[in-house]
């Protein structure tokens, strides 16, 4: 493996900002109504779904921190899988995230950002007005182009934007959550428990929606080799960020639910639009949409920032075809440019697949894509790889070098329980068998194309 020759350019705050900025993005805004619809308006059961997901990422972060505290090699999650279970598992985790996980997220999030941008300027979009607008897809493509170029040629500026977007989105969520509780009906939160019974299937569906809203926290380790004092700063970030995310999410969820009410949300009302218009009027609504756009673009920026490094991490191990080209660092920009180009192309492919599943089905009768949820595709398998790492802390203590009973058993056990619940809920989705087959197919392709000799 080549030695890392990239500069240490990110401190604690940009690292925390990366995690918070990636996780708090589009999901909380457009998945909150899905949670309440899934629980049939039961706010308390929706909160339980948030708490379970929060437990999963908080203790997942505490568990992964055991790895980051002792190893800052290039690759992050790839490296941690290698430490606990060997190079083959590390490769499969990196390959899966490179080919399926990251680009699927980027395809959906670029579309969400473009949709809310259209809403900001009063134009139609499926998310904001319920009407189709082909210009949304052009803008989504433009966002991908801009942020890939931004993260390739202005890496330090991309990190600063990540910090700015984090504070902007935290401000917006706190204001909306507090305002909703102050001017809404907080008693409706508890009364909804008996008024709106929830089915087991509905609760499982809510868990998957929440899992998407919490997704992405494990991306930060991919830039461990570019973090200043990573054994200290990355470890702290993996603990601080998930706790902040859980608190902010619950505040926003309770606030928006108390103000708008379960019945209105179940009937299809946009809770964000109702809250913003009621409190701040039309101008306030535009301001809220502006913060939403900044929030989503911060997520897009953070995922790209981490994703660019993944093929590079595999290439320096000679685990990909054309590894020599993908592992080259551009000395001027301190970035693997070929890896950036490769990840950009994959992201565009998934944006096209997302178009096929929406407008392709509705306008052009592309029925083969009916029911395809690009954003749900990689979640269960990704949690499987995370669970493998959690087990590594318990069963490979000599390699992970945990320091106490709590860090070796309690943290990973709670992380495993949270991950199992989310995976079980994901397995209950109607399209799960198809998603699983696709994931297995992607992994098998990786096994077949992996060069025989790796570092």
Decide: 329 and 336 in contact? Cβ < 8 Å.
yes
Q: Return the pLDDT at 442.
A: 87
Helix or strand run (H / E) with residue 379: helix 379-395
- Helix, strand, coil content of the chain in percent (nearest 5): 75, 0, 20
Q: Return the pLDDT at 315.
A: 93
- Interior CA angle at 77 toward 148 and 12, to 5°? 70
- Interior CA angle at 54 toward 48 and 57, to 5°? 150
What token pair was written down for 414?
């709670």
Decide: 288 and 280 in contact? Cβ < 8 Å.
yes
Q: Is the pLDDT of residue 62 over 50?
A: yes
Residue 48 lies in a domain: yes
> For 123-171, how does the pLDDT look when each residue is reduced to its tens digit (9 = 90+)?
999 887 888 999 999 999 999 999 999 999 887 788 788 778 878 888 8
| Least confident range of 89-98, 194-203, 302-311, 335-344 | 194-203
> Over the chain, what is the mean pLDDT?
84
| Residues spanned by the domain of 280 | 12-449
Residue 292 lies in a domain: yes
What token pair was written down for 420?
């199992």
Q: Return the pLDDT at 1.
A: 44
Residue 211 lies in a domain: yes
Residue 383 lies in a domain: yes
> For 307-321, how does the pLDDT look when each residue is reduced to its tens digit (9 = 90+)?
998 999 899 999 999
Helix (H, G, I), strand (E, B) or coil at 237: helix
Q: How confident is the model at residue 26 (pLDDT cuts 50, 70, 90)?
A: low
Number of structural domains in the chain: 1
Q: What is the DSSP string of 308-351?
A: THHHHHHHTTT-STTHHHHT--BTTTTB-HHHHHHHHHHHHHHH
Decide: 126 and 310 in contact? Cβ < 8 Å.
no
Q: What single-letter DSSP state applies at residue 196? A: S
Percent of the chain with pLDDT over 70: 93
Decide: 61 and 217 in contact? Cβ < 8 Å.
yes
CATH of the domain at 331: 1.20.1740.10
Give the whole-angstrom CA distance, residue 384 versus residue 188: 37
Residue 427 lies in a domain: yes
Q: Which residue has the higher pLDDT, 163 or 48?
A: 48
Q: Across residues 1-7, what is the average pLDDT?
A: 51
Residue 142 lies in a domain: yes
Q: Is the pLDDT of residue 2 over 50?
A: no
Residue 7 lies in a domain: no
Q: Is the pLDDT of residue 199 over 90?
A: no
Residue 64 lies in a domain: yes
């Amino acid at each position: 493996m080549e030695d890392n020759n990239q500069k240490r350019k990110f401190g604690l705050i940009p690292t925390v900002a990366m995690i918070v900025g990636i996780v708090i993005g589009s999901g909380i805004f457009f998945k909150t109504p899905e949670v309440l619809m899934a629980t049939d308006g039961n706010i308390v059961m929706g909160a339980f779904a948030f708490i379970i997901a929060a437990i999963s990422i908080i203790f997942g972060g505490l568990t992964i921190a055991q790895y980051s505290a002792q190893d800052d090699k290039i690759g992050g999650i790839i490296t941690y899988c290698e430490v606990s279970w060997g190079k083959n598992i590390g490769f499969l985790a990196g390959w899966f995230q490179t080919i399926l996980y990251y680009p699927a997220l980027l395809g959906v999030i670029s579309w969400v950002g473009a949709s809310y941008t259209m809403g900001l300027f009063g134009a139609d979009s499926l998310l904001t007005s319920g009407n189709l607008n082909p210009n949304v897809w052009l803008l989504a493509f433009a966002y991908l182009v801009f942020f890939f170029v931004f993260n390739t040629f202005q890496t330090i500026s991309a990190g600063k934007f990540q910090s700015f977007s984090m504070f902007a989105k935290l401000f917006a969520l706190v204001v909306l959550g507090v305002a909703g509780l102050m001017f809404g009906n907080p008693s409706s939160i508890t009364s909804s428990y008996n008024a709106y019974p929830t089915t087991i299937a509905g609760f499982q569906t809510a868990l998957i929606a929440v899992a998407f809203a919490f997704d992405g926290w494990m991306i930060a380790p991919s830039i461990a080799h570019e973090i200043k004092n990573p054994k200290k700063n990355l470890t702290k970030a993996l603990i601080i960020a998930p706790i902040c995310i859980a608190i902010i999410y619950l505040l926003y969820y309770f606030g928006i639910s108390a103000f708008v009410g379960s019945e209105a949300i179940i009937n299809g009302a946009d809770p964000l639009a109702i809250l913003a218009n009621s409190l701040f009027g039309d101008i306030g609504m535009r301001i809220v949409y502006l913060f939403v756009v900044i929030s989503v673009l911060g997520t897009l920026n953070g995922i790209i920032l981490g994703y660019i490094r993944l093929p590079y991490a595999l290439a320096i191990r000679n685990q990909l075809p054309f590894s020599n080209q993908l592992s080259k660092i551009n000395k001027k920009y301190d970035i693997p440019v070929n890896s950036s180009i490769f990840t950009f192309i994959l992201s565009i492919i998934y944006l096209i697949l997302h178009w096929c599943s929406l407008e392709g089905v509705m306008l052009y009768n592309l029925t083969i894509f009916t029911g395809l949820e690009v954003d749900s595709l990689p979640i269960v398998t990704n949690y499987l790889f995370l669970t493998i790492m959690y087990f590594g802390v318990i069963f490979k203590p000599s390699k992970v070098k945990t320091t106490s009973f709590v860090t070796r058993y309690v943290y990973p056990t709670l992380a495993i329980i949270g991950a199992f619940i989310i995976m079980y809920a994901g397995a209950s989705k109607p399209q799960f068998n198809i998603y699983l087959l696709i994931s297995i197919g992607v992994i098998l392709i990786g096994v077949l194309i992996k060069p025989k000799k790796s570092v």
